[in-house]
Amino acid sequence: MDVAAFFKAEFAEHRDVAARTEAALARGFGDLLAACAKSIRGGGKLMFFGNGGSAADAQHLATELTVRYKNNRVAIAALALTTDTSALTAAGNDLGFDRIFARQIEALGKKGDVVIAISTSGKSPNVLKALVQARSMGLVTAALSGRGGGDLAGLADHLLVVPSDTVARIQEMHITLGQMLCGGLETELGLA
Domains of the chain: 3-188 (3.40.50.10490)
Per-residue pLDDT for the chain (192 aa), expressed as one digit of tens each? 999 999 999 999 999 999 999 999 999 999 999 999 999 999 999 999 999 999 999 999 999 999 999 989 999 999 999 999 999 999 999 999 999 999 999 999 999 999 999 999 999 999 999 999 999 999 999 999 999 999 999 999 999 999 999 999 999 999 999 999 999 999 999 997
Measured in degrees and rounded to the nearest 5, phi and psi for residue 133 equal -60, -45
pLDDT of the residue at 192: 79
Best CA proximity match to 118, nearest among 156, 75, 64, 74: 156
Q: Which helix (H) or strand (E) holds 114?
A: strand 114-118
Please give the Cα distance from 175 to 183 (Å, whole number): 12
What predicted TM-score, i.e. pTM, was given to this entire model?
0.97
